[in-house]
Amino acid sequence: MKRALLVAFAGSVGFACLGTPTPLAPGLDGSVGVPHRGVLTRAVELGRSGPGYVRYRPQGAYYWGTPELVGVIEAAARRVVDECGNGSLLVVGDLSARRGGRIERHQSHRTGRDADLLFYVMSPGGAPLASPGFVSFGADGLAPVPGTRQFVRFDVERNWQLVKACLTSSRASVQRLYVSHELEALMIDYARARGEDAALVWHAEMVLTEPGDSAPHDDHFHLRVACTRQQAIGGCDGGGPYWDWLPPLPELDPTEAEVPGEELLSARRLTASRADAVLAGLSAMR
């Protein structure tokens, strides 16, 4: 059984399995590599607009992701409308390039599992407003709009409903939702005050986090979905903690396996080298 798992894993990084997702390395399938170093095949494009959402850059080239990521965004936007009524739309920033790899403005977003989601905003008086773009909110939930003398308010209700919709979605499992500490606190306090289930609030506290190696994310959410079991076999890896509540991934215990642990390590190195080969090939084609 364990040998079969290794064979499946090793085969997924070869050149004869899972169809032909890319002519450069036909065995690599789906989200391959880690978020800051990898490629993407079988990508799905997020439409320019849909129920409850609109793209920040309508003509942008970076609106490709795994079917799971795109499905979560579409379903969450609809859920916010269902829960809060028609108001402001969810504005969606960059996902990934069609074939993954590095894109401008981002260190990650390379394997189809990342998306930027702009915050829902209100007027200081509480009326839903169209997003003014990437504006930075303080601990008081207010943000100045550049080039004006106006302020907008962080729409705690809609932003919490967005977080809740992502965390409870059946489309994919959320690995991280990056956001500043101050805005996380506003949403968690709101959730507790309205009597949300304690397990859901704890779940949100685990997933919501301010990154330590980039901007504090006080102007948007950065959503990252976890690798699925099949994607993990095909070379998907990393991106944050693999939480206990996520579906178990295929594992091989080198101390019990019929196949030496070194062979598993070799298979993982092969995945990385094949991903690098794809990136090199794409660069040569540009």
- pLDDT tens-digit series, residues 43-70: 999 999 999 999 999 999 999 999 999 9
Confidence of residue 273 (pLDDT cuts 50, 70, 90): low
Per-residue tokens: 101: 């790899």
b/e sequence 42-59, b meaning 16+ C-beta within 10 Å: ebbebeeebebbbbbeee
User: Band of the pLDDT at 240, cuts 50, 70, 90?
Assistant: confident
- Give the per-residue pLDDT at 106: 74
251: helix, strand or coil:
coil
* Domains of the chain with CATH codes: 2-285 (3.30.1380.10)
Q: Tell me what the mean pLDDT of segment 194-212 comes to.
A: 96
pLDDT band at 269 (very low <50, low <70, confident <90, very high): low
Distance of alpha carbon 135 from alpha carbon 279, whole angstroms: 33
CA distance to 8, 74, 168, per residue, from 253 (Å): 15, 38, 31
CA distance 246 to 244: 6
DSSP-derived secondary structure for 162-196: HHHHHHT-SS--EEEEE--HHHHHHHHHHHHHTT-
Mark 5-41 as b/e (b = at least 16 C-beta within 10 Å): bbeebbbbbeeebbeebbebbbbbbbbbbbbebbbbb
Higher pLDDT, 106 or 11: 106
